[in-house]
Structure 1
Amino acid sequence: MTTDESALLDLDGLRVELDTGRTVVPLVRDATLRVRAGEIVCLVGESGSGKSVTARTVMGLTQLDERMTVTGTASFDGVDLFSLSREERREMRGRDLSMVFQEPLSSLDPVYRVRSQLREALRRRERLSTRAEWDRMRQVLLEVGIHDTDRVLGSYPHQLSGGMCQRVMIAMALLSRPRLLLADEPTTALDVTVQAQILELLDRLRRENDMSVLLVTHDMGVAADLADRVVVMYAGRTVEDADPLSVFTAAEHPYTAGLLACIPPMTGERPPVLPAVPGTVADPSGLPSGCAFHPRCPRATEQCASADPPLEHVGASRTACWYPLSRASEFATEGTR
């Protein structure tokens, strides 16, 4: 893949390996994606597909573990993220890149009030007077839809609801006005009403602050509502990358089509049993040969079992499949040989 000069974040062939002491496990094998300025890109796939590891590697958090080895290319606004020193990566976090993690109650420190945690994040970026700090913290809480700011600032995380804690986490990430926000399943464990509020909030803040968002999710419905582009990962690599319309009306990779088939229908007759992608996500410590999806794929051939397909343009998508769905006639011909 050639570098896209218009991309704010550009990942090409990202690989993350874990040395367990007995073997080397590829957690991410080929994460390739782009996020342009002002764009929301949804990174989707089943649990264990490498989405969260990819996001944490962009933030420089994976590299803090000495057992991890990171290779490939990752650039942010033309800067090679992997060439930065630990101190330079720390300076970029919060200033240009911020992250909202899963499970806000476990991400916030339970022994400090919200004001202390927001103040610490703020002071990493700038020094203000006490009054200016309070004004800035109140302002960012208002931006994320928290109106009783003084009560929340004086509360401990356990005194707030899950949705309120997630808003605090987003406020903390926005304190420095980052150019790219990485949100790792930010609506996990929240009820559907609060989920909708949080996702609407992210979209509004993206537009108001001219901010890019890489949103990690397993929910294709979320991708349909929010995404400018959808990137599908399976077993640590990108298998499809397209705009939402192309993904939802003409998916090319059988895995993407399988995920879409699992969405319950909103109209018509209710099926007695919801469809499911057969089997389980490939174990990174024992990946099959060839395409990692081939043991679960109804279209797999001997070629799929022997060689991993490249990520290449097929129609409006980029997909990693020897027999993409738009080439059904070619597949039929191949199957008769």
Structure 2
Amino acid sequence: MRNSSSGETLLRLNNLAVNLHRPDRTVPLVRNATLRVARGEVVCLVGESGSGKSVTARTIMGLMQLDRRIGVTGGIEFDGEELNRRGDEQFARLRGKDIAMVFQEPLSSLDPVFTIELQLAQGLRRRERLSRQAERARLLELLNDVGIRDGERVLRSYPHQLSGGMCQRVMIAMALAARPRLLLADEPTTALDVTIQAQILELLDGLRRESGMSVLLVTHDMGVAADLADRVVVMYAGRTVEDAPPEQVFRHAEHPYTAGLLACIPPLEGDRPAVLPAIPGSVPDPSRLPQGCAFSPRCQRATDRCRSEDPPLLEIGSGAAACWHPTTGEEQLAAPAGVSP
């Protein structure tokens, strides 16, 4: 499914930091995250639960900033325009039209007092105004695209009358209704069976080929990343720890955390181990991050330097990794990792 992008940057995060300000302390939810999404490109954001992936996506959408306890610093640049310094009005202008999002929990994202037709039409009207007949035909087409064949019934339904998987497909249709330039998809196929999952991923791939839509896909599924991504960004404890093309990530992961994630995947060929490998420990509480590299307590390569100094994200080959002891060796850590335009 992979597609070569134009190379022109649509979204860029520059040292994005998201902090929750509590009366007794400040909790870092995202720490200096850096990534780039080009036009027509799919970037998969992977990592364990608690790594900061969903918070990053919601911050790009301008939703985390609505909470007064949240402080956001760093840059969020969309199509050459810096959003983080412009306030919510600028986010509101883009939200749902140029930037759309599919959330993890569809039942909490859909309004229980309105029918699916009213909610789906709202997204469509962000982009175009159609006659009543043409609008309904377009809504049925959108539902059909996401695998809903009984569209007439679904349009008349309320969210509680649909299954979780059906609501998830409705959410995907709503996000795609306005043909956004950037789609933020937070685990969009988690509640779907493998057949519908493949159909949705094929739909996303077709739309990016047809319209140049870019996708930032948050996923736990490394198989999806291997099949769909133009770049894979790995997050751990709120920061980017590896950013590289999928060929580099899956054949020669530089960061030990990425290598650990890949080792946990059951082999498709040969004998299966009785017990799958697992990364020891768990993602640290963001309010109690260890000194130095946040992964060092779980890392077999960790040294005293790792436990005292947090490594910067540095270029390695065609990607970048934040590690003092990457697979290729410390001698290759030569230049700060930049995201070329």
Structure 2 length as normaliser, TM-score?
Answer: 0.91
Q: 1:172 aligns with which of 155, 171, 174?
A: 174
Q: Tell me the amino acid that sits aligned with residue 248 of structure 1.
A: F
Shift of 1:219: 1.6
Residue equivalent to 2:19: 17
Residue equivalent to 1:335: none
Determine if contact 2:291/2:308 at 8 Å carries over to the other structure: yes
Give runs of aligned pairs for residues 122-271 of structure 1, distance below 5 A: 122-271=124-273
What is the distance in 2 between the residues matched to 1:311 and 1:329? 15
What is the distance in 2 between the residues matched to 1:248 and 1:60? 32
What is the distance in 1 between the residues matched to 2:308 and 2:33? 21
Moved more, 112-121 or 17-26: 112-121
Determine if contact 1:41/1:215 at 8 Å carries over to the other structure: yes
Residue equivalent to 1:312: 314
Q: Tell me the amino acid that sits aligned with residue 71 of structure 1.
A: T
Q: Tell me the amino acid that sits aligned with residue 166 of structure 1.
A: Q
Residue equivalent to 1:85: 87
Residue equivalent to 2:99: 97
Determine if contact 1:163/1:194 at 8 Å carries over to the other structure: no
Q: Name stretches of at least 5 consecutive residues in structure 2 with no aligned partner.
A: 1-6, 333-341
Determine if contact 1:103/1:186 at 8 Å carries over to the other structure: no
Q: Deviations over 1:142-187 (max 9, x none)?
A: 3334333222211222333333322211111112110000000112
What is the distance in 1 between the residues matched to 2:22 and 2:330? 42
Please report the RMSD computed on the Cα atoms of aligned residues, expressed in angstroms. 1.9
Secondary structure of the equivalent of 1:323?
Answer: coil
Go from structure 1 to structure 2 and tell me whether the alpha carbon gap of 1:22 and 1:328 turns closer, same or farther (over 3 Å shift): closer
Go from structure 1 to structure 2 and tell me whether the alpha carbon gap of 1:286 and 1:180 turns closer, same or farther (over 3 Å shift): same
Shift of 1:130: 2.6
What is the distance in 2 between the residues matched to 1:161 and 1:211? 28
Q: Deviations over 1:67-125 (max 9, x none)?
A: 00000111001000112232221111112100000122232122221101112233444
Moved more, 206-215 or 115-124: 115-124
Residue equivalent to 2:300: 298
Determine if contact 1:310/1:320 at 8 Å carries over to the other structure: yes
Determine if contact 1:252/1:317 at 8 Å carries over to the other structure: no
1:44 aligns with 2:43: no
Residue equivalent to 1:326: 328
Structure 1 length as normaliser, TM-score?
Answer: 0.92
What is the distance in 2 between the residues matched to 1:20 and 1:101? 26
Secondary structure of the equivalent of 1:309?
Answer: coil
Moved more, 42-51 or 158-167: 158-167
Shift of 1:315: 1.8
Q: Tell me the amino acid that sits aligned with residue 202 of structure 2.
A: E
Q: Deviations over 1:36-58 (max 9, x none)?
A: 01111000000000000000000
Moved more, 317-326 or 78-87: 78-87
Secondary structure of the equivalent of 1:83?
Answer: coil
Q: Tell me the amino acid that sits aligned with residue 158 of structure 1.
A: H
Secondary structure of the equivalent of 1:221?
Answer: helix
Q: Sequence identity, in percent?
A: 68
Q: Deviations over 1:290-318 (max 9, x none)?
A: 11111111001111111111101112220
Determine if contact 1:15/1:29 at 8 Å carries over to the other structure: yes
What is the distance in 2 between the residues matched to 1:145 and 1:47? 28
Secondary structure of the equivalent of 2:84?
Answer: helix
Shift of 1:139: 3.1
Determine if contact 2:16/2:34 at 8 Å carries over to the other structure: yes
Go from structure 1 to structure 2 and tell me whether the alpha carbon gap of 1:163 and 1:78 turns closer, same or farther (over 3 Å shift): same
Secondary structure of the equivalent of 1:306?
Answer: coil
What is the distance in 2 between the residues matched to 1:103 and 1:244? 28
Secondary structure of the equivalent of 1:18?
Answer: strand
Determine if contact 2:42/2:216 at 8 Å carries over to the other structure: yes
Higher helix share: 1
Secondary structure of the equivalent of 1:325?
Answer: coil
Shift of 1:231: 0.2
Determine if contact 2:234/2:258 at 8 Å carries over to the other structure: yes
Q: Tell me the amino acid that sits aligned with residue 39 of structure 2.
A: A
Q: Tell me the amino acid that sits aligned with residue 307 of structure 1.
A: E
Q: Tell me the amino acid that sits aligned with residue 242 of structure 2.
A: E
